[in-house]
Amino acid sequence: MLLSSLQSASFAKVASVGLAFVAILTVLVWLRHLASDIKIRKLGGTLFVCYLLIITTASKLYYEIGKNQYNNNLVAWCTAQLDNLPPGKRAFAEFSLTGSKRVLITRDPEQIKAILATNISSFGHGSMWHKLWRPFLGDGIFAVDGQLWHDSRAMIKPMFVRDRLRNLAIFDACTSKLLSKIPSAGATVDLKDLFYRWSMDTTTEFLLGENVDSLDFPDNDVLNAMHVAQRIQMFIFVLNPIAPLIPKGDYHRAIRRIEEFIEPAIARTLAIPQARLEELSKLDMEFSFLHSIARYTRDPKVIRDQIMSVLLAARDTTAATMSWAMYELSNYPKLWARLRKEVLRELGSHATPTYEALKDLTFVKNILNETLRLHPAAPLNMRQVLETTTIPGRPGEPGVVLLKGDSVTINTLGMHMYADLYPPVSDTFADPRIFSPERWEHWTPKPWTYAPFSGGPRICAGQNFALTEMAFCLVRLAQRFESIEYRGDWAAQRLRADIIGTPALGVHMALYEPGEKPDLRFKRHAN
């Protein structure tokens, strides 16, 4: 009896302390909210009611974010926050977990323009981003701001100039191997898997002058390490306030495996005399991205960080976009027939595409543009406010005041899918939710309503490289295969966003050369 009474008393005491802690924390957060409110109002802005000032509500939000990321639904969750806004009230959604640091989500073109271009000095990745990504990307171009970013840009840009892209030998060799891995008529193949291996080989060949040969060895541990590192990195970033609680053993082992692949190549390059590097720079085939960076710096860590950054961006963008392009085309046989007709008319069935020829293939470009509109490689883009500033509000309303330390999530996919930014549906302009490359024959997006490669000074330096690589591959596929069909439930496909957005269910298809008969069991009706 006495023991029971003591236990009850102890429980009551613990409960009281716990409730007191929650109450004190809530009051502190509320006071921080009021302090932020005062700052914003002094600058002419309005801080909207903060609903997340209670620890249980904040915990619920963390749970929602983590759950949606785990279920590949985070992008849709961000878009839903915008769709659920009161009509005509705001151009952005916002919340705060601490009462002071806000997180805004926007798909408004004028706000995005301010963040990425006209007011770019007030925005960047910030110290938190750098801290969270440093084990993976170090001080590479995608993890830094200011002078470090300018230095990184200067290092990598020379390899993406037009003259460097005219030689398509790397694309040709890797795409030929890709085609050799596509089975005969009627056999199902996951094109997403092939595209990721193809892109890994192409990218490492371009970066290092040697590739991981993942097309020949599907279980390549470097390829697998990239998948693991990216998946865990996304969780670390999305759940950053509780990132220390996330197990990171697999993450660090994966990064180390990638480093073990690139470090010997870096060492070999640094052993090359500077004069020889200058000679190599005048050659196309023997001069790699690694050689180019070594002309600027002899620091192996600096080189490592830039290689990791470009490897991440170049591999995933092309693989994901090609996966989505073939997924969409498989639902529209007439579009595939038109693509093939253009390619055969201009190049025939065997000619190797040149850089100049690819630029003249209008329908190929329209397919890639439409794919990137519906499926931008980076559906979300994050920026931190580096100094207190203002971005445009709704027309006729005051600007939105952002305090130093606030964060902004640019919902690129949400913007691309926002019906208000498009012309009315007509005979020449299909519903924006539908894959329709033909729309590009009659329509040009308004500035800052189409941004698959970001925009402003930090626009992707490698976009021409990516577009050329994808166009080359798409042309080669169209030259060889007369028809394609999707295997599985086409409508069940969904987005998986591990930094880059990819088809979550893979892209299982069969491809048929001329004379081969499609399997009627899988015949689909074009919409």
Residues in binding site for heme: 460
Q: CA-CA distance, 284 to 206, in Å (whole number)?
A: 11
Beta-bridge mates of residue 400: 391
Neighbour-count burial of 206, counting CB atoms closer than 10 A to its CB (0-12 exposed, 13-18 middle, 19+ buried): buried
Q: CA-CA distance, 143 to 130, in Å (whole number)?
A: 5
Q: CA-CA distance, 250 to 236, in Å (whole number)?
A: 13
DSSP string for residues in 370-433: HHHHHS-SSSEEEEEESS-EEE--STTSPPEEE-TT-EEEEEHHHHHT-GGGSPPP-SSS--TT
Cβ atoms of 321 and 367 within 8 Å: the answer is no
List, in order, residues 6 or more apart from 163 with CB less than 8 Å away.
Answer: none
Q: State phi, psi for 397 to the nearest 5 degrees.
A: -115, 160
Helix, strand, coil percentages (3-state) for the chain, rounded to 5, are 55, 10, 35
Cα–Cα distances in Å, from 121 out to 146, 399, 431? 9, 17, 37
Closest CA to 404 of 59, 23, 40, 16: 40
Question: Residues within the annotated binding site?
Answer: 460
What is the Rg, in whole angstroms, of the alpha carbon atoms belonging to the chain?
25
Q: CA-CA distance, 230 to 377, in Å (whole number)?
A: 14
